[in-house]
Structure formats: C-alpha cells, structure tokens
Structure 1
Amino acid sequence: MSGTGIQVSGLAKRFAGVDAVSDVTFGARPGRVTGFLGPNGAGKSTTLRMLLGLTLPDAGTALIGGAWYRELDDPSGTVGAVLDIAAAHPGMTARGHLRTYAALGGHETSNAERVAELTGISAYLDRRVGSFSTGMRQRLSLATALLGDPDVLVLDEPSNGLDPAGIVWLRTFLREFAADGRTVLLSSHVLTELQHAVDDLVLIDRGHVAWEGPLAEFTAHGTSLEEAFLRLTSGAASPTAPAASGATRTEGVHA
C-alpha cells in the first residue's frame, strides 16, 4: 500500500555514557497500526523523541516518508504527535488552544471545530483546559495532533485517563485512520488494549529491539500479549516463545 511510512535504522543515543538506545531498527507501515512497547527505561520515549526531531541521535536514521522530521515540507501536516498531554495551557479554552496551534502550523483556524468533532470534545470547546479531566486532555491532545490532517500519527500512551467507552472509541478511531492508508505508531503500557488495537508489534528492551513482526505471529503459540511480553523481557523465556517467520528478534534476548 502506498503512503507515508516510518523507517528507523541503526538508531543510537547515549546519555552520560549510558546507552539509552542502541542500534534500533524497525518500521511502521501505511495501513497498519504498529504497537511500540517495552518496559520502563527500555528506550521508547528516547526513540520517539529522536523520530520527531526533539532529540538528536548519535547514530542512525529515523525517517518519515523517507525524510527527517526537520526536513519535511509540512511537518504538522505530515505527522501528528502526542507525547505530552500537559502541553495545553490550563488558562486557555480548548477552542483557543486549537486555533492557536492551527495558526502556528499554517492550517486554517476553522480546523479547530473539525478536529473537536472528530475527537468528541465539541461541547467543551469554550471550557478552560484547566477544568478538563485527564481523559478530556487526552482527547484535546489528539485533536491538536489532527489539525493538519496528517498521514502519520505518533502517540505515546494515548489511552491514559480514558474511560472504557473512550478506549473503545480510540481503538475504533485509530483503526479507521489506518484503514484510510495512513500510519499509526502507538506506544502504550496497557497490553490488553494493545492486543485489540494493533496489527504489528515492535518490542524494545534495554535499548534494543527484541522482537518485530505481526501481532498474530507474536501470539501464535496461544499466549496473550501480556504473557509473551513478560516472557521476552524477563530473561527467562521458554523455548516456545514467538519466533515466527518474517519476525525478527535481537540476539541475546531469549525466547
């Protein structure tokens, strides 16, 4: 399928002499929802920050549609990202926040109403962000990411604070977004939700990609995503852990 994909190759980053990310390589394809998971401190956030040009890598490439984020002609019209739901000023109304970010991205301010409807916050546009629940702030963050009608979404823990109905809504939204030929890279700690939301999986552990491939192959041995995840990241995996054809694992991670 044609479209704008993500390709990370040989990505590496050290902080104070410690490897946060080492030789990370994976892809996220158009038309697919790709889950990006790993234990705390595994390197997920650092990888996403390098992908979005917020942290400079020491080595490797992180390309979106074949280009670095900083080289994209229309960054917010190509990539919508949610890494921090605290970005909205609590004293602004949701409408003011969205219109400001639309103008900063070079998009029509009327897009604020369109994305508010998409994310279910139209009735709250004139409320101040400081009065929002965590779930409503998540929806506002996603609405902000959608202002440029992007081809790619990069989301870090987007279901935090959502109630069960909100989680189902988010899952449906991301599925429909990908079905339109677009790309979703989704990081989450909620493994039970990822199992229902993603097509492909990238598992990062201790700065290395431990597994990459279709979710169906990861759980092909009849185990849940949670059980397979714990097996591959505990260092005590059994010989029957997923190792299906077409999937990759990093040497030294036992399965």
Structure 2
Amino acid sequence: MSAAIEVRGLSKRFGAVVALEDVALRVEFGRVVGFLGPNGAGKSTLMRALLGLVRPDNGAAHIAGLPYAHLTAPAKRVGAVLDIASAHPRMTARAHLRTYAALGGMARSRVDTVLSLVEAQSYADRRIGTFSTGMRQRLALATAMLGDPDILVLDEPSNGLDPSGIAWLRTFLHSFADAGGAVLLSSHVLHEIEHTIDDVILIDHGRTVWTGPLEQLVTKDAPLEEAFLRLTQKGPLS
C-alpha cells in the first residue's frame, strides 16, 4: 500500500532564495503528523507543491502514490486548509459549502454532514464576514471534508480556536486517523500540537532535519519546544 503522502528529493528556488532543498518525508495512513519548522523554513512551499500549487524544480511529491494533478477525484482523496480567507464575506457558510460541493461534483447532502462534523450548525446561515477566526477555521475544515477524503493537509488549523475548540480539533483529528485517515498539519503552537500528533517532521532552511515518532524526539523532562530549539538552533516559532 502506498504512503498517504510521500515526498522525495523535492527542491524549489525562487530566484536566489532556496525554499526547499532535497526534502524527503513520508506520512502513513492512521497517523497525525506535525510538520514543524521556523518561519521561512519552507513548510508552506512544500504544502503548496504537494497540492500542485507550486511546481518544484526537482523531486516528486505524491498523494496516495500519485502526483496531485493525476488524482482522478482530488477532493475525494485529499482535503486541504491553506488559507481561511478565501471564503466570500457576503456568503453564508451553507451557501459557500453548497457552491464547493457543486463545483466538486459532490452530493448536496454532504453540506449538512460536514457542518455537523465541525459543529458549525448554529452559524451555518450567517454571513461569513461576521465570523470570528475560529469560525472561519471550522468552515475551512468543513470545506476540506466535503469530498469525504482520507488525507488532510492543514496549515495552522488551530489558529483562532479557543481552548475548547483546540480540544475539539484534537479529538477530531485523532478520530480521523483512528478511522484510517492521514493528517499532515503545521503549527507554531508547540505545546498544543505536542498533544495532537503521533509523528514529527522538522525542516529548517528548506531541508529535513528530523523525522520520526514523537516519543523518539521528546521526553517527560524535555518537551517538544526544547527539541525544536536544539535541532534548529532558533528561537521559538512565532
């Protein structure tokens, strides 16, 4: 069986700036994987390359064994949250989801299903322009789940969530992985993500510097933030 996500030898340059250099990583089904690194380390570039939004100079990025562009029904294979600002502020959450469902050839009934999944029913008919950041995060996740994918790629999914929302997200992601799904997520809040992830992929200056199970990286007396500082020789993420 193919890995959920596999990246081999990925390199990308923007002019004189090296964003990624020979990056390799692997995400297995049934795991929640934290994708960590300092600001500017290359996390967003890699996520965009994985989803076909950036063309790498070298290497390969595969989802379930195929490049994103070769997936026959990409929304039904992978759900992504990269930008929570893309929803039109004058639309309601329900109308936004119905539009995306129609564009993706998904059943309209999925709209109510995903609203329930992210517990957004109470504001489904409000205009998105009135939403808090946490509400927008839930709507973005609902949009990613429309195709009932088995792989999620999430950039800072806990941003704007209150403590109860963070606890809810942690339970949601664990349940998703326990059902056989795979999650690749980035975060700058290390003390939160440490309680969410199974594995860690750490990059710095566009290169992979550590990958493996969380328990091999941290101990009771040396939490994730200390390991991050040791491996990157940087200040805390911000």
Q: Give TM-score, length-normalised by structure 2.
A: 0.96
Correspondence list, 1:104-253, <5 A: 104-220=103-219, 222-234=221-233
Aligned to 2:9: 10
Deviation of 1:18 (Å): 1.7
1:22 maps to what in 2? 21
Letter of the structure 2 residue corresponding to residue 83 of structure 1:
L
Partner secondary structure for residue 191 of structure 2? helix
d(CA) in 1 for partners of 2:50, 2:189: 22
One-letter amino acid matched to 1:185: L
Equivalent-residue separation in structure 2 for 1:141 and 1:18 (angstroms): 30
Q: Extract structure 1 runs of 4+ deviating beyond 4 A.
A: none
Cα separation, 1, equivalents of 2:113 and 2:2 = 23
User: How many equivalent pairs are there?
Assistant: 235
Which amino acid is 2:143 matched to? T
Higher relative contact order (CA 8 A, sep 6+): 2
Tell me how far 1:4 sits from its aligned partner: 5.7
Give 1:3 deviation, angstroms.
7.1
Q: Is the 8 A contact 1:116 1:143 kept in 2?
A: yes
5+ residue gaps, structure 1, are: 237-255
1:222 shift after superposition: 3.4
Letter in 2 for 1:124: Y
Work out whether residues 38 and 234 of structure 2, in 8 Å CA contact, stay in contact via their aligned partners in 1: no
Cα RMSD between the aligned structures? 1.3
Confirm or deny: 8 A CA contact 1:3 1:182 kept in the other structure.
no
1:73 equivalent in alignment to 2:67:
no
Which structure has the greater CA radius of gyration?
Answer: 1
Where does residue 248 of structure 1 map in the other structure? none
- Which residue does 1:40 correspond to in 2? 39
Match of 1:92, SS state, is coil
The answer on whether the counterparts of 1:6 and 1:29 sit within 8 Å (CA) in structure 2 is: yes
Q: Distance in 2 between matches of 1:124 and 1:70?
A: 34
Q: CA deviation at 1:28?
A: 0.6
Which residue of the partner structure matches residue 87 of structure 1? Answer: 86
Task: Compute the displacement of 1:125 (Å).
Answer: 1.0
Check 1:113–1:221 CA distance in 2 against 1; reply closer, same or farther (3 A cut): closer
Q: What is the identity percentage for the equivalent residue pairs of Structure 1 and Structure 2?
A: 61
Partner letter of residue 41 of structure 1?
A: G
* C-alpha contact (below 8 Å) 2:37/2:204 kept by paired residues: yes
2 CA distance for matches of 1:235 and 1:164? 27
Distance in 1 separating the partners of 2:151 and 2:2: 9
Is the 2:68–2:74 contact (alpha carbons within 8 Å) kept by the matching residues of 1? yes
User: Which residue of structure 1 aligns with residue 100 of structure 2?
Assistant: 101
1:3–1:181: 8 Å Cα contact kept in structure 2?
no
Q: Is the 8 A contact 1:3 1:151 kept in 2?
A: no
Structure 1 distance, partners of 2:3, 2:129, is 35
